[in-house]
Chains A and B, each alone.
Chain A
Amino acid sequence: MINLIKAEWFKLLKSFPFRILCLCNAASLITTAALNFLGSKGSTGYETLLISLGYLLHHSIIGYIFAAFFLCDEFSGRTFGMSLSCGVSRRKIFNTKVFTFLAGLLFLFLIYTGAVMFVATILNGFGKGFSIDIILLLLCGILGEIAMGSVMILVATIVKKAVITVGLGIGITYCLLLGKTHYLQTGIFPYIKYTYSFQIEQLMFWGENFSLGTFLAVMFLTVVIVLITAGFIFERAELK
């Protein structure tokens, strides 16, 4: 599988859309930094970290666009046949794709999160002493991103078309956000608390109104169930 991963990274590094996504992340970072600089009371590094970890909409848009060209284009471009002709199973191809997609997604996520935190820290200080809590917070952020990435993989595997994946993915994210807002206002449909999107946004309330146990359980179950489902679908998919 190492050789398959090497090939995937080669494709990613040569990929023009991936470079554009990195630029979009950089543009978001510059905008955030500028707003922080221009604002009367700028956010500290710690506050910025909390906000960026829970910034679901931004991560969703970037992630679904990434899924569209990294996964869907392989279905529509019929390039999975190339991997099959190397004598590897569909399971290995899928696992390689999952590993590389999540690694790429985390790269985009950490670059953005790390950079905005760094800029805010330079401008307004970190705002909190270093502790294990910060490491735990970052690890939870990574896990949340992996859970969200898994859902993106499932959507891309089912839909197989780039534009529909992006549209559907962002639509799902909006519905979950609306569901959360509705629940917080009216208390209706409390099960929304156990979705990955709700839990990711709860990272913004780390240390205040955040249940680590619930977060970990939701994320692990999401990753396991969603990736098993996506793998099952991929193994039986008609590849053009």
Chain B
Amino acid sequence: MAEIIVSAENLTKHYRKINALNNFHMEVHRGDVYGFVGKNGAGKTTLLRILTGRSRQTSGKIELFGKSDRNDLDIQRGRIGSIIETPAFYPGMTAKDNLEVLRLQMDISGKGCISDALKMVGLEEVSSKKVKDFSLGMKQRLGLAMALFGNRELLVLDEPVNGLDPEGIVGFREILKKLNVEFGVTILISSHFLGELSQIATCYGFIHAGKMMEEISAKELQEKSESYLVIRVDNAKKAAAILEKALPEYRIEIITEMKLHVHNFSGETGLIMKTLINADITVKELKAYNDGLENYYMATIKKITN
């Protein structure tokens, strides 16, 4: 099992009358792309702010790279790059100067690393332009360059693609994939773009009302969020009985008098259609669905709130 590099145990954060985090637990393993999912106000940003030292927890414990003492945590944060909400820069300075500030703070010798960082995110042509004149996409990319600066082992990204155009989102995703696969960077990313998240995440954490509801690997999610067939017929009960007898390997679920679902579906719509037609069942609609991350998350939240 890969090393645990981030863990939160019984983490609680109060803001006056609000419980932003409530006995929160989480573990992130080295090499993961951990997708952090939850609705607005669930506590995602609060957690990420605590992990990066911008905020202090009310109670509970966090560990970064196996260290939990306050002084050690400060030191370990030097291994973490982050973008929390929107990237933060000195707007009156150029992109190069912003990275120079970081280089001086981190005591990195040689200025070659600055041009390397800007090249990685495609900003080398505008390195002498003031950040206040950057577009939103350019700012996001500079934020990523700054988060990565200094060979970070962990990236903490809070909704990093907000405001980016489709091309920007794809570009951002490709950079993250490269960082994870080629350089072994662990990524903890919160996002509302579940479709995007599902393309890179290796595991997920669902947060709701300050609590971790479920942690699940991408593989487990794939298995649980199955493909199924939706069939509209004139008599669902009769159709279900026929399918259960003819195709016992499938799980048949009657939804309404005229609608049924076929689970464990393996793609053989022709066989199902033929079986129903041969039994004089009128098929009005036959359509394949896949739950995916979005539906799984919504189902999980619905289960919790009910």
Q: Is A28 an interface residue (CB 8 A)?
A: no
Given A11-B101, A82-B102, A87 contacting B76 (CB threshold 8 A): yes
B103 nearest in chain A by CB position: A7
A1-24: contact bitstring with B at CB < 8 Å (1 yes, 0 no)? Answer: 001101100110011100000000
Task: Give chain A residues whose Cβ lies under 8 Å from the Cβ of B52.
Answer: 81, 84-85
Select one of B53, B71, B85, B90 contacting A77, CB under 8 A.
B90
- Chain A 59-86 near chain B by CB (<8 Å), digits 1 or 0: 0000000000000000001111111111
CB distance from B133 to the nearest CB of A (A): 14
Chain B contacts of A79 at CB under 8 A?
Answer: 88-90
Q: How many residues of B contact A (CB 8 A)?
A: 35
The 8 Å CB contact of B101, one of A10, A239, A240, is A10
Instruction: Give the complex CA separation of A101 and B92 in angstroms.
Output: 19
C-alpha gap A15/B130 in the complex (Å): 12
Contact B93 A14 (CB under 8 A): yes
Bitwise interface map of A from 194 to 211 toward B, beta carbon under 8 Å scored 1, else 0: 000000000000000000
| 0/1 string, B101-118, CB within 8 A of A gives 1 | 110111100000000000
Say yes or no: is A34 at the interface (Cβ < 8 Å to chain B): no
User: CB < 8 Å: which of A4, A11, A14, A87 contacts B75?
Assistant: A87
CB distance from A138 to the nearest CB of B (A): 32
Chain B residues near A10 (CB-CB < 8 A): 97, 100-101, 104
| Nearest CB on A from B176, distance (A) | 18
In the complex, whether B82 has a CB less than 8 A from a CB of chain A is: yes
Interface of A is mostly: helix
Cβ of A31 within 8 Å of any chain B Cβ, yes or no, is: no
Inter-subunit contact A89/B104 (CB<8 Å) = no
From A3, A80, A87, A236, contact of B79 by CB (8 A): A87
Partner of B105, one of A7, A15, A78, A89: A7
Instruction: Tell yes or no: B195 within 8 A of A by CB.
Output: no
Query: Which residues of A1-59 are within 8 A (CB) of B?
Result: 3-4, 6-7, 10-11, 14-16
Question: Which of A6, A77, A85 touches B77 (beta carbons < 8 Å)?
Answer: A85
A15 touches B92 (CB 8 A): yes
Answer yes or no: A88 CB below 8 A from chain B CBs: yes
Separation of A14 and B77 alpha carbons in the complex (Å): 27
Could you say which residues of chain A place their CB within 8 Å of the CB of B49?
238
B8 touches A (CB below 8 Å): no
Are the C-beta atoms of B55 and A238 separated by less than 8 Å? yes
Chain B residues near A (Cβ < 8 Å): 49, 52-56, 71, 74-82, 84-85, 88-93, 97, 100-102, 104-107, 146-147, 150
Given A3-B105, A80-B54, A84-B53, 17 other A-B contacts at CB below 8 A? A3-B104, A3-B106, A7-B105, A14-B92, A77-B90, A79-B88, A81-B54, A85-B82, A86-B78, A86-B150, A87-B76, A88-B74, A88-B78, A89-B71, A90-B53, A239-B55, A240-B54
- 19 interchain pairs, CB-CB under 8 A: A3-B106, A10-B100, A10-B104, A11-B90, A14-B97, A79-B88, A81-B53, A82-B105, A84-B54, A84-B77, A85-B77, A86-B102, A87-B77, A87-B78, A89-B71, A89-B74, A90-B53, A239-B53, A240-B54
